[in-house]
Amino acid sequence: MRDVAVIGIGMNKWGELWPSRIRDLYVEAALLALDDAGVDKIDSMYVGCMSSGLLVGQEHLGALMADYLGQAPVPATRVESACASGGVALRQGFIEVASGMSDVVLVGGVEKMTDIDGGSTTYALATAADQEYEGFHGVTFPGLYAMMARAHMARYGTTREQLAQVAVKNHENGAKNPRAQFPFTTTLEGVMTSTMVADPLRLMDCSPVTDGAAAVVLSTVEMAKKLKRHPLVKITGSGQASASIALHARADLTWLGSTEAAAKTACKMARCTPREADLFEVHDCFTIAEIMVLEALGLVEKGKGGPATAAGLTALGGEFPVNASGGLKAKGHPVGATGVAQIVELAEQLRGDAGARQVKGAKRGLAQNMGGTGASATVHILEVES
Amino acid sequence: MRDVAVIGIGMNKWGELWPSRIRDLYVEAALLALDDAGVDKIDSMYVGCMSSGLLVGQEHLGALMADYLGQAPVPATRVESACASGGVALRQGFIEVASGMSDVVLVGGVEKMTDIDGGSTTYALATAADQEYEGFHGVTFPGLYAMMARAHMARYGTTREQLAQVAVKNHENGAKNPRAQFPFTTTLEGVMTSTMVADPLRLMDCSPVTDGAAAVVLSTVEMAKKLKRHPLVKITGSGQASASIALHARADLTWLGSTEAAAKTACKMARCTPREADLFEVHDCFTIAEIMVLEALGLVEKGKGGPATAAGLTALGGEFPVNASGGLKAKGHPVGATGVAQIVELAEQLRGDAGARQVKGAKRGLAQNMGGTGASATVHILEVES
């Protein structure tokens, strides 16, 4: 297998983007990434998207995006793994370049969530869970994470304030990210008095509904060295794993087994431990999720994610800077785009181009993306050659 | 890149399978394929499925199927490319084994189409076209292919009888396939007097709405040789391509450019021409589609697909046996499963296990799968080692 480099990154400003169709979002991010890479010819492309069928009445996104990007007849494949669609698309692009099948692969993620014709966004998001045993009986997605939060609080004594601190920290970071949907700061009180969604999770514990896209261009290390446009950022590890889709089938509601397994695979490939990364982009779809991910990655002991967050370990200047981008919470969460946007953030940080939210001297980053309540997860390790 | 073998195949009897949920369909085919291969441990799996979100309210099929198959925590990825979802999933599995990332990969395709909760199957299928420029204005999928048929008839003099002969021939073959949804024969008159759907296409020009799944197990040639359970069937070529998604954007309504391009790539890899294959499984979603595919593959000259069919060249004993399985027309068309089922048929034929529909002495087979009105296509070449 060949080494793989991230040679271009692109992302639009996220938010409620009423004038943009799903094809406009993807093409805009893709063109930014191609321009950043300095290439206009690609061998193949991927589209990570969760639920365009339900959300905008359009499947067949690979062909659609290749067509509108002016790249037909290249192979164009849509990949779906709920909210991990972006991370899984990245992995497919990684495998394709590593295999020698293609030299330049575009990987983009996209979701258009605000402009629903029929049905509801809540229904579409619930299709990430086990519909027959969960969704159809009335459990919403915040409801599922609320159960996980309650279990974590009961077992480990995680507090309401610790959950709120995740949101406060991520908005602190997001306020420094010009592409974030909600670039403002908040307070513990602001989070804890926001509207109740699913007890104990309030509005400010939840990532928002977002329109957006992100894209990266992958290639060989040789090509990256020839282009010489940016510091050389390599993907040194890729891991993906699955777990029970329904919560009732899990041995432990407070443990994200797929994240643990994906991190193990990725770190074995990259020959490092998660703790050896300098920064982390993780899947904080709800505040409790970030706390559980810290534990599944082994950054802290089981049950210690809440206290670690409250102690500032995951803040921008802390021991393990998590979600310098603002995370899903402040940056936004167009579900299919999230996993790719994490790679955009890591590459920008490793290049030293992250401005006010720069993690100083960052050489290695870890991205963790997950689908549903953790039934699928990807972990990728990126490193910059100094 | 490593050579890749098809070491196991599995497929259930297709039809209106009311007692089976989408997870049951996939798991049944997957277990048959694993049993056929004689393996129970896999490294990774793919699920080809077009529109489970709209059809059964369930996305995140990779994780769901890994869970229900008892294979979690393996990486499990759902791939979508409309009716080419199966072919594209196969290609991802092929790349993964070829790359060295995994040694044993399960690739399954599935669609559950009959049991719609809300919306309609017609709406779900139209999401394969350009919804904003086609579907939302009222064009259905048969309507799009009817326009292609009219253009082909106008330019090349293709006749109503020639279209009907595709259905007669495929039902002749399908009657010999115990897994076909409609294993009965029909006549030219039967097709030409069936209910009008979209002029000139009648009910018997259209593939049916089907529940079903198909699965294959891919591995290295070394492992296939070690297992020694079946004649060694290799995938020697893989091609995928895209084209304009909307018909109005095509230079020529009667030409399937993505199929031509995918065949070129696959044949270059396999070092052969399409004409050198001994049998063909192609995407006859409508009778006109099979005629256009014969031309795009170069089996006949432009415009000669109709006369070639009428002359019996594509019949079981003809020069180019096409759709010995009965094709989408008689076997059924659970859209995400179709591309994988083509591989099941080719492998069974190349092993010499196809019974009454066996193409005698078949050594090389070609599978062509396409999405929408041809905006995406895959071509795979399979060969048996004698």
- CB contacts < 8 A (A, B): 212
Candidates B152, B171, B283, B333; catalytic one: B333
Q: Taking CB atoms and an 8 Å limit, are B127 and A57 in contact across chains?
A: yes
CATH class given for the domain over A128-204+236-384: alpha beta
pLDDT the model gives residue A386: 76
What average pLDDT does this structure show over A7-23? Answer: 97
Confidence of residue B116 (pLDDT cuts 50, 70, 90): confident
Whether B1 and A261 lie within 8 Å, measured CB to CB: no
Q: Is the pLDDT of residue B118 over 70?
A: no
ipTM: 0.97
Contact B63 A371 (CB under 8 A): yes
Q: Which of A61, A261, A371 sits opposite B60 (nearest CB)?
A: A371
Task: Give the three-class secondary structure for B355.
Answer: helix
Contact B258 A129 (CB under 8 A): no
Q: Which residues in A lie closer than 8 A to residue B76 (C-beta atoms)?
A: 81, 242, 376
CATH number for the domain formed by residue range(s) A4-119+210-227: 3.40.47.10
Q: Which residues of A touch B135 (CB under 8 A)?
A: 57
| Model pLDDT, residue A281 | 99
Q: Looking at the partner chain, which of A71, A80, A124 has a beta carbon nearest the beta carbon of B78? A: A80
**Using CA of residue A142, residue A144, residue A150, residue A156, what is the dihedral sign?**
negative
CA distance B163 to chain A (A): 27
Nearest C-alpha in A relative to B117: A136
Q: What is the pLDDT of residue A6?
A: 98
Q: Which of B50, B78, B375 sits opposite A81 (nearest CB)?
A: B78
Among the listed residues A8, A172, A36, the one whose alpha carbon sits nearest the alpha carbon of residue A106: A8
A63 closest CB neighbour out of B81, B95, B119: B81
Q: For chain A, what is the mean pLDDT? A: 97
Domain B140-202+236-380 CATH assignment equals 3.40.1350.10: no
| Catalytic residue list contains A83 | yes
Which residues in chain B are closer than 8 Å to A123, comparing Cβ atoms? 57
pLDDT at B117: 63
Q: Are A72 and B135 a contacting pair at CB < 8 A?
A: no
Helix, strand, coil shares of chain A, percent, nearest 5, are: 40, 20, 40
The pLDDT tens digits of the residues spanning A270-295 come to: 999 999 999 999 999 999 999 999 99
Tokens 């401005």 correspond to: A355
pLDDT at residue A119 greater than cutoff 80: no
Average pLDDT over residues B143-160: 98
Contact: A131, B101; criterion CB under 8 Å: no
Residue of A nearest to B99 (CA): A99
**Confidence band (pLDDT; 50, 70, 90) for A382?**
very high
Instruction: Please name which of B9, B1, B2 lies closest in space to residue B340, comparing C-alpha atoms.
Output: B9
User: Quick one: CA torsion of A221, A223, A225, A228, rounded to 10 degrees?
Assistant: -130
Q: What is the DSSP letter of A208?
A: P
Q: What is the 3-state secondary structure (H, E, C) of B176-236?
A: CCCCCCCCCCCCHHHHHCCCEEECCEEHHHECCCCEEEEEEEEEEHHHHHHHCCCCCEEEE
Active-site residue identified among A230, A283, A333, A380: A333
User: Is B60–A128 a contact, with Cβ atoms under 8 angstroms apart?
Assistant: yes
Interface test with B, best of A3, A59, A139, A141 (most B CBs within 10 A): A59
Say whether A81 and B60 touch across the interface (CB within 8 A): yes
Q: What is the distance in angstroms between the Cα of B57 and the nearest Cα belonging to chain A?
A: 6
Nearest CA in chain A to B49: A80
Closest residue in B to A70 (Cα) is B244
Residue B151 has a CB neighbour count (10 Å cut-off) of: 18
The proportion of chain A whose per-residue pLDDT surpasses 70, expressed as a percent, equals 99
Instruction: State which residue of chain A sits closest to B245, comparing Cα positions.
Output: A64
Cα distances from A159 to residues A307, A308, A319, in angstroms, run: 9, 12, 21
Do A4-119+210-227 and A128-204+236-384 fold alike per CATH?
Answer: yes
- What residues does each domain of chain A span? 4-119+210-227, 128-204+236-384
Tell me the chain B residues in contact with residue A21 when contact means C-beta distances shorter than 8 Å: 132
Active site residue B333: yes
Q: Kindly identify which residue of chain A lies nearest to residue B100, measuring between CA atoms.
A: A1
Contact B131 A58 (CB under 8 A): yes
Q: Decide if B128 and A59 are in contact by the 8 Å CB cutoff.
A: yes
- Of all residues in chain B, the percent with pLDDT exceeding 70 is 99
Q: Which residues of A touch B245 (CB under 8 A)?
A: 60, 63-64, 67
Q: How far is B80 from chain A (nearest CA, A)?
A: 5
Choosing among B376, B378, B380, which should be mutated to test the A contact, i.e. which has the most A CBs within 10 A?
B376
In degrees and rounded to multiples of 5, residue B130 shows phi and psi of: -85, 100
Query: Could you tell me which of B232, B193, B242, B221 has the C-alpha nearest to residue B370?
Result: B242
DSSP string, B110-154: EE--S--SSS-HHHHHHTTS-TTTTGGGT--HHHHHHHHHHHHHH
Contact A98 B96 (CB under 8 A): no
* pLDDT digit string, tens, across residues A291-324: 999 999 999 999 999 999 999 999 999 999 999 9
Top residue of B242, B244, B268 to mutate, by most chain A CBs within 10 Å, is B242
Q: How confident is the model at residue B119 (pLDDT cuts 50, 70, 90)?
A: low
CA pair distance A162, A168, nearest whole angstrom: 10
Q: What is the pLDDT of residues B282-340, one digit of tens each?
A: 999 999 999 999 999 999 999 999 999 999 999 999 999 999 999 999 999 999 999 99
